[in-house]
Structure 1
Amino acid sequence: MIDKGYLLGERYRIIDTLGEGGMANVYLAEDIILQRKVAVKVLRLDLKKDPQTEARFQREALATSELSHPNIVSVLDVGNDQGLPYMVMEYVDGPDLKDYIRMNSPLSLHEIIHIMDQILSAVALAHKHNVIHRDLKPQNILMDKRGNVKIADFGIAVALNQSSVTQTNSIMGSVHYMSPEQTRGGLVTKQSDIYSLGIILYELITGHVPFNGDTPVAVALKHAQEPIPSIRKNSPSVPQALENVVLKATAKDPRDRYASAQEMKADLDTSLDFSRKDEPIFVPSHGANNDETIILPGFKPQIKEESSTVQEEKTNPKDEKTSKAGFWQNFKKHKWWYIFIGITAFLIVFIMIFALNGRSNNEQIHVPDVTNVAEGSAKQRIEEAGLVVGTVTRKHSDSIDAGKVIETKPSAGDALNRGSRVDIVVSSGAGMTKVPDVVNEEYEDALKKLQDLGFDVIRENQYSSRVPKNQIISQSIAAGVQVKPKQTTITLVVSQGRAPKPKSNMIKLRDLAGSTLEAAQDYAREHGLTLQINQEYSDTVKKDRIISMQPEAGTSVEKGSTITVSVSKGEKEQTEETNVTKTFTVNYEDNADSSDDDGATDQTTQDKEEKGNHVQIYIKDDDHSLGNIYRDLYIKRDMSFSIPFSLKDGDGQLRVVRDGKTILNEKVTK
Structure 2
Amino acid sequence: MSEEPYASDSPTIEGQVIEGRYRIVRKIADGGMASVFEAVDERLSRHVALKMMHMQLIQGNHREQFIERFHREARSSASIANPHIVQVYDTGTYQGVGFLVMEYVHGVNLRHEMNQRGTFKVHESLRILSETLDGLASAHAAGVVHRDVKPENIMINSRGHVQLTDFGLAKVASQATLSTTGMLLGTAAYLAPEMIEFNQATMQGDVYACGIIAYEMLTGTVPFVGENPVTVIFKHVHSDIPPLSETCPGIDSAVSAFIARLTSRRVEDRPRNAQEALDELHGLNGLLSLDASQFQMPAQLGHRRTDAPTSKAVHETHPPFPSSQTEGQPPSNHGENIAQTNMTQTHMTPTHMMPNSQDLETRRLTPPDGSDAAGPSEAANLKGTDSKGIGTKGVDPKDVGPKDAARETKTLRPRRRLGLIACIVGILFALGIAGGSAWWYFLGPGSYSSLPAPTDVSCKASQECSVSGASWSRYRSVLKASGIAFTQSEEFSDSVPKGSIISARPETVGAHISKRGGAVSLVISKGVRQATIPTDILDPSTTHGKAPLDALKAAGFSKVMHDEAKDEYSVDIPENAAISIDPEPGTTMDHNAEIEIVLSKGPKPVSMPNIVGATKDSARHQLAEAKLNVTFSEDWSDTVASGKVISSSKEAGAQLHWGDAVSVVISKGPQMVTLPDVRGKNEDDASKILKALGLDVKISAPLGDITQTVRLQSPDPGAQIRIRDTSGNPTVVTLTVV
* TMscore range, shorter length: 0.3 to 0.5
Greater strand content: 1
Q: Which has the higher helix share?
A: 2
TM-score (norm 2): 0.40
